[in-house]
């Protein structure tokens, strides 16, 4: 699959992340690589750098990967995960400043048409108050 | 002076989908619009305001309710095909059979 930008959904709650991913699959379809992660290994709320890196790996696309996050740690851990990627991948992964559910659906819709990473991010971020 | 290639093609179709142009129909319309090279604009009235039919954020923000007549305007090599396909999608009720 794909010449399309991949989407990663990172929430503190695995249920939120999975639910958002489900909405993307049902509303947009499966032409966009999509992965989610959320929760800590003990089954509580949280995010982990390693699972974010694994999720990026699962959806890796030459066109890049857009990450949608919920609160605080989801964002900082995603940024840390990007920093730990191999050099040639770092510049092709971005965290979108957008609401997690709406942003994921908008980003995936844009990505499904073959848009660039920058276009995908801008579409997701169009939702946020300027 | 008129130039046929630069004159946008128009089409209008009554949308009867129960919930109007909500999330799923918006995604379908935008995705279909993106498959064409033509630039495609969408409005709820012939007088506009016109929005980019390939912009999911703008299409969804339009919140067109049931029984709205959707107006399409397209220009580019495949403009006619694009309009035909978009009108057909709306007429098929966005493939969401009841």
Cα dihedral sign, B17-B27-A59-A4: positive
Q: ipTM above 0.95?
A: no
Residues 37-76 of B with CB under 8 A from A: 54-57, 60
Considering the domain boundaries, does residue B66 fall inside one? yes
DSSP string, A53-89: HHHHHHT--TT-EEEEE-SHHHHHHHHHHHHTS-HHH
List B17, B22, B71, B98, catalytic entry: B22
A72: left (phi over 0), alpha (psi -120 to 50) or beta: left
Query: d(Cα A36, Cα A80) in Å, to the nearest integer?
Result: 17
Q: Which two three-digit tokens encode residue A54? A: 């694994």
Domain of residue B43 covers 7-95
Cβ–Cβ of A109/B23 closer than 8 Å?
Answer: no
**What confidence tens digit (pLDDT) does each residue in B11-66 have?**
999 999 888 888 999 999 999 999 999 999 999 999 989 999 999 999 999 999 99
Query: d(Cα A56, Cα B17) in Å, to the nearest integer?
Result: 37
Q: What is the reported pLDDT for B96?
A: 84
The CATH number of the domain holding residue B25 is 3.30.1340.10
In 3D space, the residue among A43, A23, A122, A38 whose CA is nearest the CA of residue A78 turns out to be A38
H helix or E strand, kind and range, residue A18: helix A14-27
Count of domains forming chain B? 1
Considering the domain boundaries, does residue B1 fall inside one? no
State which residue of chain B sits closest to A126, comparing Cα positions: B57
Q: Are strands B9-14 and A6-11 parallel, antiparallel or unpaired?
A: unpaired
Instruction: Please report which confidence band the pLDDT of residue A130 belongs to, taking 50, 70 and 90 as the band edges.
Output: low
Ordered by where they begin, the domains of chain A are: 6-125 (3.40.50.510)
> Is the link from the previous residue into A101 a cis peptide, with omega within 30 of 0?
no
Answer yes or no: is pLDDT of A103 > 90: yes
Instruction: Please report which confidence band the pLDDT of residue A52 belongs to, taking 50, 70 and 90 as the band edges.
Output: very high
> Quick count: other Cβ atoms within 10 Å of Cβ A25?
13
**What confidence tens digit (pLDDT) does each residue in A83-92 have?**
999 999 999 9
Name the minimum distance, in Å, from the CA of A11 to any CA of chain B: 22
Instruction: Please report which confidence band the pLDDT of residue B2 belongs to, taking 50, 70 and 90 as the band edges.
Output: very low
Three-state secondary structure call for residue A5: coil
Of A113, A126, A127, the CB nearest to B31: A113
Q: Which two three-digit tokens encode residue B81? A: 């095909």
Answer yes or no: is pLDDT of A115 > 90: yes
Query: d(Cα B51, Cα A97) in Å, to the nearest integer?
Result: 23
Answer yes or no: is pLDDT of A26 > 90: yes
Considering the domain boundaries, does residue B47 fall inside one? yes
Q: What is the reported pLDDT for B82?
A: 97
């Amino acid at each position: 699959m794909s010449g399309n930008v991949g989407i990663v959904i990172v929430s503190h709650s695995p249920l939120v992340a999975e639910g958002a991913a489900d909405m993307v699959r049902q509303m947009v379809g499966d032409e966009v690589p999509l992965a989610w992660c959320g929760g800590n290994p003990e089954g509580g709320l949280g995010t982990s750098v390693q699972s974010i890196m694994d999720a990026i790996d699962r959806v890796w696309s030459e066109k890049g990967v857009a990450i949608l996050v919920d609160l605080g740690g989801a964002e900082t851990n995603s940024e840390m995960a990007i920093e730990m990627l191999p050099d040639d991948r770092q510049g092709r992964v971005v965290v979108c400043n957008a609401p997690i559910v709406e942003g994921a659906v908008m980003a995936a819709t844009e990505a499904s048409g073959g848009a660039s990473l920058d276009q995908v991010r801008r579409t997701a971020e169009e939702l946020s108050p300027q | 002076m008129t130039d046929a290639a630069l004159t946008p093609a128009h089409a209008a179709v009554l949308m009867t989908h129960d919930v109007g142009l909500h999330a799923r129909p918006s995604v379908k319309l935008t995705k279909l619009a993106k498959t064409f090279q033509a630039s495609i604009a969408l409005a709820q009235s012939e007088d506009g305001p016109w929005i980019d039919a390939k912009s999911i954020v703008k299409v969804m923000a339009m919140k067109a309710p049931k029984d709205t007549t959707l107006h399409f305007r397209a220009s580019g090599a495949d403009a006619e095909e694009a309009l035909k396909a978009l009108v057909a999608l709306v007429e098929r009720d966005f493939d969401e059979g009841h």
